[in-house]
């Protein structure tokens, strides 16, 4: 394939072309030439648009594939279509399938089914068998089979001994442990954030404390493992420091705890789901089940703190937390509805529409460079001779989200007009236009 991207502003802090408006000539999946007023051979496909921008391909660190086992909600083909439409070239999928990704067979199935798709799928494998929080999987075996990280996905690791041993076990291979912080004994039967709104709506609340107490616990465990590693001088074994990643944090106190831990030099990272940056718990006044998510939508104060965490680097990445649910799971009474919303197609539009003073370069870094670093994936660079793994977009153009490529419809954004339009992706030697 030959492709000429005409007059695109490069957004890539690691590239010598960052901030410049350039032409990019793509041949056989590689960036062959970057310059201005490039002359293309006859028959070369040209992409040109007003206010065209190009960045390294976007990556989502947290999505539910639902395949195998729940294909009526989503399968890998529909997931990849939705991801490509949202500007993503890479997606990391959680292990909460049926069967759970707790053995090489299921991991291999997902990788085989993802072949030939417009998006590269990276598999997050389970820490415990069936993600039940009891018996370990063979994480080393899964690591060698291609797992990019380890997590029980939607199920937080409740047992502190399991988390401690996982940190120790993954240390020699530099593996990433991803945990969604929630002390579930404090949130049992909860429907939304515990506070004034839950009282007014008569719904059982899920206290912020449930998230914060687990973050405090896990940071103490990480500190213990790190200190033991330093004391025993294990670094010469070739291992990396243990790495703990908190998925979908949602409270102001969580941001502060992680900010403090980073200032102390602890090897910790975190992400936030895009809908936590857009909505607060007052949005649930209409009992819209599409807004029933876990962690729940928090207060306006928490939303402000999350944006501040993005701005100062405390929060490393923005994720879709894409959780497809079919109509039977959402078109019911609020307290009977399943948690989750789809989000792959609206991450960028939501970030730009509801942006609170974060620069475009910062926002792009949260869905490109930093997530790839956390998942130990090779960097993507806009430079001559590099593979063409690109996202094309217009950050100022408005569009209406009128149709989804996902199999599920559980999103509050359908019919809404957003600012920040994806034009297409270039990946695996082909152009995928939206």
Query: What is the C-alpha separation between 174 and 147, in angstroms, rounded?
Result: 12
**Is residue 373 a part of any domain in this protein?**
yes
Q: pLDDT at residue 32 above 70?
A: yes
In a domain, 7, yes or no: no
Query: What's the pLDDT at 241?
Result: 52
Question: Is 19 inside a domain boundary?
Answer: no
Residue 20 covered by a domain: no
Q: Using CB atoms within 10 Å of the CB of residue 39, give its burial: 0 to 12 exposed, 13 to 18 middle, 19+ buried.
A: exposed
Q: Give how far Cα 380 sits from Cα of 320, 388, 427, Å.
A: 20, 9, 11
- 239 pLDDT band, cuts 50/70/90, is very low
As a whole number, mean pLDDT of residues 153-175 equals: 95
pLDDT in tens, 121-138: 999 999 999 999 999 999
Helix axes 300-312, 252-263, angle to 10 degrees: 20
Q: Average per-residue pLDDT in the chain?
A: 96
Identify whether 33 is part of a domain.
no
Q: What's the pLDDT score for residue 1?
A: 79
Give the pLDDT score at 248.
Answer: 99
Mean local confidence (pLDDT), 303-321: 98
Number of domains composing the chain? 1
Q: Which of 39-53, 76-90, 281-295 has the lowest mean pLDDT?
A: 39-53
Does some domain include residue 131?
yes
Could you read off the pLDDT of 188-233 as tens digits, one per residue?
999 999 999 999 999 999 999 999 999 999 999 999 998 876 555 5
CATH number at residue 301: 3.20.20.140
Asked if the model's pLDDT at residue 242 lies above 70, the reply is no
Confidence of residue 237 (pLDDT cuts 50, 70, 90): very low
pTM: 0.96
Element (H, E) at 56: strand 53-56
Q: Kindly indicate the confidence band of residue 91, based on its pLDDT and cuts at 50, 70 and 90.
A: very high
Kindly state the tokens that stand for 65.
């594939």
- Write the CA distances from 176 to 3, 135, 139, 242, 404, integer angstroms: 37, 19, 11, 8, 32
Token pair for residue 367? Answer: 């869905």
Is the residue at 30 inside a domain? no
pLDDT (mean) for 398-410: 98
Query: Does position 42 have pLDDT exceeding 90, yes or no?
Result: no
Whether 313 is covered by a domain: the verdict is: yes
Q: Which domain holds residue 128?
A: 57-378
- Catalytic site residues? 321
């Amino acid at each position: 394939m030959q492709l000429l991207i005409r007059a695109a502003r490069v957004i890539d802090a690691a590239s010598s072309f960052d901030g410049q408006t350039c032409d990019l000539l793509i041949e056989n999946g590689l960036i062959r030439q970057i310059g201005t007023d490039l002359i293309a051979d006859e028959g070369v496909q040209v992409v040109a648009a007003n206010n065209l921008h190009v960045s390294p391909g976007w990556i989502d660190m947290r999505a539910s594939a639902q395949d195998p086992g729940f294909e009526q909600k989503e399968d890998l083909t529909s997931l990849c279509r939705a991801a490509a439409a949202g500007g993503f070239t890479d997606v990391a999928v959680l292990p909460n399938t049926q069967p759970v990704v707790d053995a090489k067979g299921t991991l291999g199935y997902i990788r085989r089914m993802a072949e030939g798709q417009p998006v590269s799928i990276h598999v997050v494998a389970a820490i415990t068998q069936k993600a039940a929080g009891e018996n370990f999987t063979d994480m080393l075996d899964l690591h060698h089979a291609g797992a990019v990280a380890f997590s029980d996905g939607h199920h937080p690791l409740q047992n502190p001994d399991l988390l401690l041993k996982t940190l120790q076990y993954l240390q020699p291979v530099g593996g990433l442990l991803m945990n969604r912080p929630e002390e579930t004994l404090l949130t049992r039967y909860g429907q939304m954030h515990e506070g004034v709104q839950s009282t007014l709506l008569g719904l059982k609340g899920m206290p912020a404390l449930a998230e914060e107490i687990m973050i405090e616990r896990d940071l103490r465990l990480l500190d213990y493992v790190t200190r033991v590693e330093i004391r025993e001088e294990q670094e010469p074994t070739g291992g990396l420091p243990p790495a703990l990643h908190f998925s979908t944090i949602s409270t102001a106190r969580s941001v502060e705890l992680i900010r403090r831990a980073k200032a102390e030099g602890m090897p910790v990272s975190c992400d936030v789901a895009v809908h936590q940056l857009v909505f607060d718990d007052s949005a649930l006044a209409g009992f819209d089940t599409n807004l029933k998510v876990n962690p729940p939508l928090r207060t306006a104060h928490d939303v402000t703190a999350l944006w501040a965490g993005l701005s100062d680097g405390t929060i490393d990445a923005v994720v879709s937390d894409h959780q497809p649910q079919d109509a039977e799971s959402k078109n019911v009474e609020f307290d009977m509805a399943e948690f989750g919303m789809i989000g792959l197609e609206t991450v960028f539009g939501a970030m730009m529409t509801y942006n609170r003073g974060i620069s475009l370069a910062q926002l792009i870094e949260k869905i490109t460079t930093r997530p790839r670093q956390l998942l130990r994936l090779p960097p993507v660079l806009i430079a001559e001779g590099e593979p063409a793994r690109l996202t094309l977009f217009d950050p100022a153009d408005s569009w209406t989200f009128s149709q989804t490529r996902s199999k599920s419809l559980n999103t509050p954004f359908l019919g809404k007009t957003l600012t920040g339009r994806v034009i297409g992706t270039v990946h695996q030697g082909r152009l995928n236009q939206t």
